Amino acid sequence: MTMTTTFETVVIAGATGNLGYPIAEAFLNDGSYKIKILRQKPESKNEKAELLASKGAEIVYVDYTQKDDLVKVLKGTDVVVNTLNPSKMGDGFFSTQLSFLEAAKEVGVKRFIPSEFGCDYTPDNVHPLIEAKLKFQKELEKSGLEYTFIYTGVFHSYLHYFGFDIENKTALFYVDGNSKIAITSLADIGKYTVESLKLPEARNATIRVAGSTVTFNELLQMLEKATDSKWKVTEDREVRHRYRNKIEPIPSIVDDFKAFICENGEFSKLDNDKFSFTPRSLAECINTIVKKA
Ligand SMILES: NC(=O)c1ccc[n+]([C@@H]2O[C@H](COP(=O)([O-])OP(=O)(O)OC[C@H]3O[C@@H](n4cnc5c(N)ncnc54)[C@H](OP(=O)(O)O)[C@@H]3O)[C@@H](O)[C@H]2O)c1
């Protein structure tokens, strides 16, 4: 029988962020863990941090560039969940995760969940904007620490980033409308992250989960239904080609990244069946997003 390690104290870095907050909430809702939230120094007021503190999380400020600071705050930690954002931190993203890893090794952290939470990629098919994630995976695998890479597809709340503009009822397709994309709600990502700690199959493994997998055409139809209007659709399927070959109008690297995600948005295999819950339905999530827009 495979034994699972038991975990008590979970440290979450980036818990005031888009993803970190629902992950922290899911851990607090679960109720079985002591939760510590790391925030970047200097101290600042933050509503989400206050909410998490009111639900029982301990807030600790840290200088991410100082390994000694990290060693101090990670003492007694069983699990590190990193939800820092490469697009906000640039080169600091890799170096910070590495400092975390070194500190985690020093104090005997049992499980490290790095900031992944995106689509599938491989060394042969990776975008420059997420190369630092892959580079860190290699370091983590070498480190001897237990790890889980969690891939979730696109966040529901990020549909605008991938071409769906609810306010203006427009959609921009970077790929054929029949291509598929995996989408997951942030609340479910929180639950998957918590439950991964109880799953023997998640030890030293990549876990791929999705709330739904749909075609871009199906997504469009659902958004049209939820907004009760016909959307204007445009296509730009040459973004990656123009970016690579510097053909005018040259897309930005961010546009190239969006097109990369849309091209690689479907998982070949999912681990949903290993988890105890059913994720929220796409229709329900879309209705929530439309109401908020
Ligand atoms: N699959 C998708 O659709 C999708 C979409 C978006 C993001 N992601 C991924 O999800 C992960 C988290 O992204 P996110 O959007 O949730 O992150 P985010 O909201 O931009 O930021 C996370 C937190 O990082 C902390 N932080 C620490 N040092 C920082 C610095 N130097 N600059 C900026 N913030 C700093 C901030 O909290 P404090 O100030 O409290 O320390 C911030 O709230 C990343 O791996 C990202 O690639 C995936």
Q: Model confidence over 209-240: pLDDT tens digits?
A: 999 999 999 999 999 999 999 999 999 999 99
Closest CA to 113 of 87, 151, 142, 154: 151
Mean pLDDT of 86-115: 96
pLDDT at 144 over 70: yes
For the residues of 101-127, what is the DSSP string, one character each?
HHHHHHHT-SEEE-S--S---BTTB--
Q: Quote the percentage of the chain above a pLDDT of 70.
A: 99
pLDDT at 267 over 80: yes
pLDDT at 94 over 60: yes
CB 53 within 8 A of CB 47: no
Q: 55: which residues sit within 8 A by CB, 6+ positions away?
A: 25, 28
Burial class (CB in 10 A: 0-12, 13-18, 19+), 269: exposed
Q: Tens digit of pLDDT for each residue in 6-64? A: 899 999 999 999 999 999 999 999 999 999 999 999 999 999 999 999 999 999 999 99
Decide whether any atom of ligand 1 lies within 6 Å of the 97 Cβ.
Answer: no
**Structure confidence at residue 3 (pLDDT):** 56
Q: Which of 88, 155, 160, 260 to mutate to test the pocket of ligand 1 (most atoms within 8 A of CB)?
A: 88
CA–centroid distance, residue 20 to ligand 1 (Å): 7
Decide whether any atom of ligand 1 lies within 6 Å of the 83 Cβ.
Answer: yes
pLDDT at 2 over 60: no
Domains along the chain? 9-151 (3.40.50.720), 153-184+211-267+274-293 (3.90.25.10)
**Structure confidence at residue 248 (pLDDT):** 98
Decide whether any atom of ligand 1 lies within 6 Å of the 57 Cβ.
Answer: no
Q: Tens digit of pLDDT for each residue in 163-172? A: 999 999 999 9
Task: Using pLDDT thresholds of 50, 70 and 90, give the confidence band for residue 5.
Answer: confident
Decide whether any atom of ligand 1 lies within 6 Å of the 21 Cβ.
Answer: no
CA–centroid distance, residue 5 to ligand 1 (Å): 28
pLDDT at 4 over 70: no
**Structure confidence at residue 293 (pLDDT):** 87
